[in-house]
Structure 1
């Protein structure tokens, strides 16, 4: 598609929201402590050495260090079997010092992913992948929400993007990004089209959208000729290029002068995702107080929120 010289593509950087999120996480941590909760601790569970998973874990560790939330590494070799994975999940479920568990994807081919989905405790399911949390999210009930789509919505809200009434195409139907993202957007009154490998004409669907959200795991999948001039592109992709650099699922350079706004990779949704994961770890801590997902807290109560907003405004 020919670039429009009148379109100056705005870069939606996650760093602009990160400062506020870090401050809110610290405030939520103090609230959890005041209510008698344990010091939160995340366990990242990695099977094998997938490059994208390693990059994500490194980002998590950097982020958690900045908000003073502990995290530990739990690893199994790439040739681990189902029983080893199940045993590890059981140990993490039973460990009272572990507040939340993140199973880093993808799992090796020989591992049945349903082992994780069906055996991970919903109270420690920090990324909302178990049937209990996924079902509660779909029904609009309190739950631990997948951090990537929840963080993406936080980024859109930060930049004042109107979701209600917008036509949004989501590319990718994974259980951790695409599907829950479509649910969250629908709950915000967006009109959502969910595309996947079975979509006949992907470009026709993306061109109809006011906002294109891509999480397909294919570098450069969304190109300039697939997007209507002035549409927004939210890139959730994290792919490791041959030179070791991180690239997204959208052609960032090719979309300049076409998209009205786009998230970069790295530096767009990534920083917000990691901070949302930290927030979810605290949310799991609140749920652990009562042993009930109905007690999950993702944000400060209204009275404390007003005080927090006033303090953030005074400090800006």
Structure 2
């Protein structure tokens, strides 16, 4: 048996097309252009690449991109002043502060200063609380939202009774992923570094989401035959060619692909969905700001 390879790149492209249509519809019906402010502090090369790709996607989909790039010497007070100004700007519907921030800036203080109604990443404690409590109006973090959309593309919208395991308990992926699956009526377990017999937990899962940040930790014989495997991990490891590196996930792909029913590759699986869902969140926040109907995928 060979698993269905979940093409996250193709799904993300389709989602981006639907978001672009939603942007055009919002402009036509309300005269509003969704706008996202992207704040980058410092010169981290990976962050610069991520920010450029986000800003490019905004323009491609017809949104407004407000770019705020600042040196690492920017003070915490200066950053908080900028966020206050963005909170007050009616043309800015979403705010994203690229992480990590320089060490002298308190990340939690900065994220907490963002208006929850403009929190495009869904990291604010108010949005986390709404998601955990099952309340409407939560902005869902992009990677878990994208992962759920891929799961539903394989299994259908009704996930009732599926046994789901999330490996990893971060506030960015693991915990919100578990809350989304709970809201979809799955039976959910969260595993982590202190879990006893992780392999056995994995073997019981109909849906296995790996977000632990350890290269190929989950082996093929840990996967339940026919399970849907969503590999969120992006790990750079040495390649066979000296001096070269390659990207691998948290799942041993070559082993798992012969057991699973469906699996995301790395790269090309969850990764493309993250930026597509950021675009979706920005459109959703603009719709909420003017009282327009939200995109169907916004709440997954």
- The interval holding the TM-score normalised by the smaller chain is 0.7 to 0.9
* Residues 1:218 and 1:88: Cα distance change in structure 2 (over 3 Å): farther
- Trace 1:139-288 onto structure 2 (pairs within 5 A): 139-140=133-134, 141-161=136-156, 163-241=159-237, 243=244, 245-288=246-289
Aligned partner of residue 197 in structure 1, secondary structure: coil
Aligned partner of residue 229 in structure 1, secondary structure: coil
- For structure 1, the 5+ residue unaligned runs are 1-6, 301-316
Aligned partner of residue 129 in structure 1, secondary structure: coil
Whether the aligned pair in 2 keeps the contact of 1:143 and 1:296 (CA below 8 Å) is no
Identify the residue that residue 107 of structure 1 maps to in structure 2: 101
RMSD: 2.7
How much has 1:29 moved relative to structure 2?
1.1
Whether the aligned pair in 1 keeps the contact of 2:209 and 2:229 (CA below 8 Å) is yes
Give the distance between the partners of 2:25 and 2:168, measured in 1 at CA. Answer: 36
* Residues 1:217 and 1:44: Cα distance change in structure 2 (over 3 Å): farther
Identify the residue that residue 241 of structure 2 maps to in structure 1: none
Aligned partner of residue 111 in structure 1, secondary structure: coil
* Residues 1:58 and 1:196: Cα distance change in structure 2 (over 3 Å): farther
* Residues 1:201 and 1:91: Cα distance change in structure 2 (over 3 Å): farther
Identify the residue that residue 309 of structure 1 maps to in structure 2: none
Task: Report the TM-score, using the length of structure 2 for normalisation.
Answer: 0.85
- For structure 2, the 5+ residue unaligned runs are 239-243
Identify the residue that residue 298 of structure 1 maps to in structure 2: 295
How much has 1:184 moved relative to structure 2?
0.7
Give the distance between the partners of 1:86 and 1:245, measured in 2 at CA. Answer: 38
Aligned partner of residue 159 in structure 1, secondary structure: helix
Whether the aligned pair in 2 keeps the contact of 1:236 and 1:249 (CA below 8 Å) is yes
Identify the residue that residue 16 of structure 1 maps to in structure 2: 10
Task: Report the TM-score, using the length of structure 1 for normalisation.
Answer: 0.81
Identify the residue that residue 91 of structure 2 maps to in structure 1: 97
How much has 1:159 moved relative to structure 2?
2.3
* Residues 1:72 and 1:220: Cα distance change in structure 2 (over 3 Å): farther
Identify the residue that residue 310 of structure 1 maps to in structure 2: none
